[in-house]
Chains A and B, each alone.
Chain A
Amino acid sequence: MSEMLLSAGSTADGPDLAVEFAGLRLKNPVMPASGTFGYGEEYSPYMDLNRLGAIVTKGLSLRPKAGNPTPRIAETNGGMLNAIGLQNVGVDAFVEQKLPFLKEVQTPVIVNFFGNSLEEYGQAAQRLSQIDEIAAVELNISCPNVKRGGIVFGTDPGAAAEVVSLVRRHFNKPLIVKLTPNVTDITVIARAVEEAGADAISCINTLTGLAVDIRRRRPRLANGTGGLSGPALRPLAVRMVYQVVQAVSLPVIGVGGIMSAEDALEFLIAGAHAVQVGTANFVDPAAMINIVDGLKQFCQEEGVAGISELIGTLRC
């Protein structure tokens, strides 16, 4: 590499991929999307977890959760539907059985969590605030409030603000709130969670879909509907990230259908500070590593010293 390119932020071994936002400093902007990477250990035989910007866990609840009946997944064109039902081991088992492994990895751990009532969110946040090894939490608000007729927290600005401010009270470290795309105007929810004290926003979660087994005249998933993920979701996700970036001053993590470095760059250019990779991990366990390498190569080709220079450079 020529010396001309060695400007601020770049290092001898190429462009700098580090990003900083919401009090987090990540060596690169690439991390797994919750629920697609287990608790990290599952993919450790296939990749060096130290190369990731962060690790995001499967969504945890205070108590273990069983999840939905099967079939839970169905492939669709350019994507898949899932209705796993947030099966997870619970916070205590996570701390005992899963965290010791993650402690050994030199990558910040972000714990995704959820509840089915305000109380559950509050209790989980309290418990998680006591765990030193957690760098940040990601709050999944795409869950129904069973105590209020099943309305999904993240689809109502009032309910979203209420749960975010409750968690905020219990948790001092960076609080990322993950938004659902199943709303008419995502900017309304984004503003509500910003005012309620979120430090960052990740978007988007899966988009609710339905696939039909035409011979049996039944849904292909036991649950009926499921969440759409994968490349089919990407243009919608990029659009929503762009809208949220315009609407609030919080940093945004872009999620939805990222398969390659090019896909990740769409999100970064639209204004995301980091990206999460979900379904692509299933398709290729090397996906995130390839994306990290691809980002570096793109910066080199474009003569950009650091990835952060590209963030929010969309010309409209």
Chain B
Amino acid sequence: MKNIKTTILSNQEVSPDYYRMKILAPGISDLAQPGQFVMFRAQATDEPLLRRPFGIFQTGTLPSDCDGLPDKEFVEILYKVVGRGTAIMRELHEGDRVEVLGPLGRGFELADDGREQILVGGGIGLVPLYMLASELVKKNKVRLLIGGRSRKDVLMVTEFERLGVETYVSTDDGTLGEQGPVTQVLERKLSKFPDAVVYACGPMPMLEAVFRICQPRQVALQVSLEAFMACGVGACLGCVVKGAGHSEQQPHYLCTCKEGPVFRAEELDWELLEKRVNEGEHSHE
């Protein structure tokens, strides 16, 4: 885990409102595990004040510009512009100074013991699944079910296919792939491969629906959650979710930043998560 001041290597639009940014990150890049994230800030000002959490899309090395200099180890993030912080990020260019803290949190456990591997991504939720897929394809058949509101919200399909992942696209409005929720594809796949393991990341209502499908079938499920974060390291206790068995008398809170963001489904209290969804929290993707 490192806190570094560094520079941007590239920042490109991939679809309207979606960008991918490569950041020079020696010391972070080599430690990162699939499902981990970084806390990012563009500038040392009070506005916006807090760093923003972003999943690690991939890590890698670029050859250095000059002979004799070390290769450039990078972390790549993929983000959607939704507010003040991400609006500033979209304006950044190669060479701009930024600060990155990471890699943070607990990533995915690889359940790559020969079972079918199914990844489910909703919108920007596909970010942590790419690094996961790159690991899983080494030993397994991997399928990605990817959903979004519309064509523009379905990203990186060719990148996943290049890894050898079989992809299934669905959109709410039918502008790309089949029309309907990604969970309808999941139900079909699970009837065909009842022993599959599932990894999911996306908006809360989608995760909730994925859980409702996996639970009765006793399918092993890991989910990656989002929460408002201030510190990202377990110090502020601002990002907690209710764990399984939580009650007023015996409270059981888990830090999304430290004990997550990836949880095994059985670690969480889904009744309470469901309540949050119905209250309309986390409506953005």
A157 interfacial contact with B, CB 8 Å:
no
Would you call B240 and A230 a contact (CB within 8 A)? no
Pair A282/B237 contact, Cβ less than 8 Å: no
B19-56 interface (Cβ within 8 A of A): 41, 44, 46-51
Number of A residues near B (Cβ < 8 Å) is 36
B233 touches A82 (CB 8 A): no
Q: Does B245 contact A (CB under 8 A)?
A: no
Whether the Cβ atoms of A82 and B238 lie closer than 8 Å is yes
Chain B residue contacts of A74, Cβ below 8 A: 228
CA distance A70 to B49 in the complex (A): 20
The yes or no answer to A126 lying at the interface (CB within 8 A) is no
Are A43 and B238 interface neighbours, CB within 8 A? no
Contact check, A87 vs B46: say whether CB atoms are below 8 A apart.
no
Which residues in chain A, 278-304, are within 8 Å of chain B measured between CB atoms? 279, 281-286
Residues 247-276 of B at the A interface (beta carbon under 8 Å)? 248, 251, 253, 258, 276
The residue from B99, B234, B280, B281 contacting A38, defined by CB atoms under 8 A apart: B234
Once A37-B235, A73-B238, A84-B236 are accepted as A-B contacts, the answer to whether A46 and B49 lie under 8 Å apart by CB is: no
Q: Are A71 and B230 in contact (CB under 8 A)?
A: no
Contacts of A42 in B (CB 8 A): 231, 233-235, 258
How many residues in B have their beta carbons less than 8 Å from beta carbons of A? 35
Central interface residue in B41, B241, B281, by most chain A CB within 10 Å: B281
Contact assessment for B227 and A36 in the assembled complex, using a CB-CB cutoff below 8 Å: no
Chain A residues whose CB sits within 8 angstroms of the CB of B234 once the complex forms = 38, 42
* Residues of chain A contacted by B101 (CB below 8 angstroms): 46, 285
B4 to chain A, nearest CB (A): 10
Report how far A103 CA is from B48 CA in the complex, Å: 37
Is B3 part of the contact surface with A, judged by Cβ < 8 Å?
A: yes
Of chain B, the residue at the smallest CB distance from A86 is: B237
Q: Which residue of B lies closest to A41 (CB)?
A: B234
**Contact partners of A286 in chain B: CB under 8 A:** 3
B1 interface residue (CB < 8 Å to A)? yes
Query: Is residue A79 contacting chain B, with contact meaning CB distance below 8 A?
Result: yes
Contact yes or no, B46 A285, CB < 8 A: no
**B235, A281: Cβ atoms closer than 8 Å:** yes
Q: Cα distance A230–B280 when bound, in Å?
A: 28
A74 to B46, CA, bound (A): 15
Q: Does any Cβ of B come within 8 Å of A130's Cβ? A: no
Of B3, B44, B231, chain A has the most CB atoms within 10 Å of the CB of B231
With contact pairs A80-B49, A80-B50, A283-B51 given, residues A216 and B233 touching in the complex (Cβ less than 8 Å)? no
Chain A proximity of B117: nearest CB distance (Å): 31
Given A73-B236, A84-B237, A216-B280, 11 more pairs with CB closer than 8 A = A45-B1, A46-B1, A46-B2, A67-B240, A74-B228, A78-B47, A79-B49, A80-B49, A80-B230, A82-B230, A283-B49
Footprint of A on B, CB under 8 Å? 1-3, 41, 44, 46-51, 99, 101, 227-241, 248, 251, 253, 258, 276, 280-281
Q: Give the 8 A-B CB pairs with smallest separation, nearest first.
A: A66-B251, A73-B238, A38-B235, A42-B235, A282-B231, A282-B230, A45-B1, A78-B46
Q: Which residues of A contact B (CB under 8 A)?
A: 35-38, 42-43, 45-46, 58, 66-67, 70-75, 77-80, 82, 84, 87, 216, 230-232, 259, 279, 281-286
